Amino acid sequence: MTLASKLRYGRLLLKTDPRRYVNLFRTITARRCSNLVEIGTWNGVHAEEMIGVASILSGLGAIRYTGFDLFEDLTEEQFQQEFSKRPPSYQEVLARLERTGARITLHRGNTRQTLPRAIEELRRADLVFIDGGHSIETITADWDAVQRAMSPGTTVLFDDYYPDPCPELEGLGCQTIVDSLDRTRYSVEVLQPTDEFPQPWGMLLVQMARVTLNQP
């Protein structure tokens, strides 16, 4: 990594907000990830940052990004059920990400349908970031598709691990899934830092979790 690249990377880490996203960029750098999958592309900001970090070590020509989201197909019911943020349109996000110069593929629709159809893209991934719907049902479905495609070279990052669940978070977050993983099969790390968000009912604590297959 050149001095200029190190400085650019350092500035990104310093300005990252929420702070837990430093784990995304550190993982990409430490594991030299170049084939990126993000479940929950939203507005493409984190995708741009992921591509930028990956290109420091691999060059833009080697970076492939595949994103999944509902985009304008998000219904009001899904918006409420998934504790979601409204994304821009598919075309807006696609245009934004294509300007990065990386190879971009976006899948629009419910991941219960789109992920199984993209199994080959999942198999190529060296990083899968699960950050789509927040309900346990949706995260479980996303994880079921991802784990079937995992190889020893795949790193999975889960967002929305709530270390201090409360009644207001019932049915939300990945912590039940992550905590139940078989430690003889998977290496599981719940990562720092922890972000804190004041809510009317108290403090919402959010972390990321990192999962890889144990080597045989």
pLDDT at 7: 46
Q: Which two tokens stand for residue 20?
A: 């837990």
| pLDDT surpassing 50 at residue 110 | yes
- Tell me the mean pLDDT in the region 173-201: 96
pTM here?
0.89
**Which residues have C-beta within 8 Å of that of residue 54, sequence separation ≥ 6?**
28, 33, 34, 36, 63
Placement of tokens 């990409």 in the chain: 28
- Tell me the mean pLDDT in the region 207-213: 98
Residues 3-213: name the CATH superfamily.
Answer: Vaccinia Virus protein VP39 (3.40.50.150)
Per the CB < 8 A criterion, the answer to whether 104 and 97 are in contact is yes
Where are the chain's structural domains?
A: 3-213
Give the pLDDT confidence of 145-177 residue by residue, as tens digits. Answer: 999 999 999 999 999 999 998 888 899 999 999
pLDDT at 134: 87
Per the CB < 8 A criterion, the answer to whether 58 and 12 are in contact is no
